[in-house]
Amino acid sequence: MNTKTYSLSSKDVEERWHVVDATDRTLGRVATEVTHLLRGKYRPTYTPHMDNGDFVVVINAGKVRVTGAKSRQKIYYSHSGYPGGLTETPYMRVLERHPERIVQAAVKGMIPHNRLGRKILRHLKVYAGPEHPHEAQVNAGKGKETASA
């Protein structure tokens, strides 16, 4: 018996667009669903070293929720690269000013931290409200969108 292993090539990748509604859903659950779609892990042709995932549009990121005391205790860190350049921003302030960054940070932590991960992260589009400018792309692949409630 001589079976050959199928290896996906870049010309075989079919990109789809998905819309995920984050309204009243837990941050981690939304992030894992989005990561799954971005990496293409649901496909039978999943290849770990290639970008064969889809584009994902997350709407209503400002209405995502966190459990427990995270809304009071969670802190986002950033560093300027200079000594003493560590900045701490509480979850509630990020939610007020840039709610899309909350979902982006959660998804970024779940994808590979390498060149492939940076390429995959460019396929993520997050919007605080229900409107997004990608309606044409989503509708181009009729029947291939997912609206999670």
Residue-level pLDDT, tens digit, the chain, 149 residues: 678 887 888 888 888 999 999 999 999 999 999 999 999 999 888 889 989 889 999 999 999 999 999 999 999 999 999 999 999 999 999 999 999 999 999 999 999 999 999 999 999 999 999 999 999 988 886 544 555 55
Is residue 83 a part of any domain in this protein?
Answer: no
Is residue 87 a part of any domain in this protein?
Answer: no
- 114: domain CATH number is 3.90.1180.10
How far, CA to CA in Å, does 81 sit from each of 13, 85, 118? 38, 6, 20
**Neighbouring residues of 96: CB distance < 8 A, sequence distance ≥ 6:** none
d(CA 84, CA 26): 34
Structural domain count of the chain: 1
How far, CA to CA in Å, does 101 sit from each of 41, 45, 75? 24, 31, 13
Contact yes or no for 99/61 (Cβ under 8 A): yes
b/e map 15-29, b = 16+ CB within 10 Å: ebbbbbbbeebebee
Is residue 27 a part of any domain in this protein?
Answer: no
Hey, what amino acid is at 3? T
How far, CA to CA in Å, does 110 sit from each of 106, 138, 144? 7, 24, 24
Q: Global pTM?
A: 0.87
Is residue 8 a part of any domain in this protein?
Answer: no
pLDDT at 24: 96
Is residue 127 a part of any domain in this protein?
Answer: yes
Is residue 10 a part of any domain in this protein?
Answer: no
SS3 at position 147: coil
Is residue 104 a part of any domain in this protein?
Answer: yes
Is residue 30 a part of any domain in this protein?
Answer: no
The domain in which residue 48 lies consists of 35-64+99-140
